[in-house]
Structure 1
Amino acid sequence: MSEIERRKIDFSVFLLHRLSDRFERPAAHLYRELEPAKVFEGYVIPYYDVLHTLGEEYLVEDVIAYARNRGVML
């Protein structure tokens, strides 16, 4: 696994746990809710270069908006 792939995975896990904290739900449960919207595969990982530079609160809000725009109500 390349260094950038590892960073993308670490970033995705970090973000999942911030969302888990925000909604006070287990990370695994929240991941299953987000999976149909392809939040990580279709947004977080492909746009890692930009997203990882954003502040934590903005990033969490942005991902919530992305999921909601794709029909996932958290």
Structure 2
Amino acid sequence: MSKQFDAAEIKEHKSAESAWVVVDGSVYDVTEFLEDHPGGSKILLKNCGKDSSDAFWNYHSEKVLKNVAEEYKIGELKPGAKL
């Protein structure tokens, strides 16, 4: 069973020191990926600490989620949590 995070905890991680995003209920710690993100760290940081599903799907495919993001996955958003 993966770790579950509540909305308040997700919202705390929106800086270059600790950057988390949520895509379709999965939580990703992208702190180590900030400098490698092809679109730059600024756009990634803009979407940290919240549900970034819409922004993610506007620019990425399922392939990116499986091949790149999977290594950064740290858990799931708790059921019923609202961001």
TM-score, normalization by structure 2: 0.28
Name the one with the larger strand percent: 2
Tell me: higher relative CO, structure 1 or 2? Use CA pairs within 8 A at least 6 residues apart: 2
TM-score, normalization by structure 1: 0.31
Name the one with the larger helix percent: 1
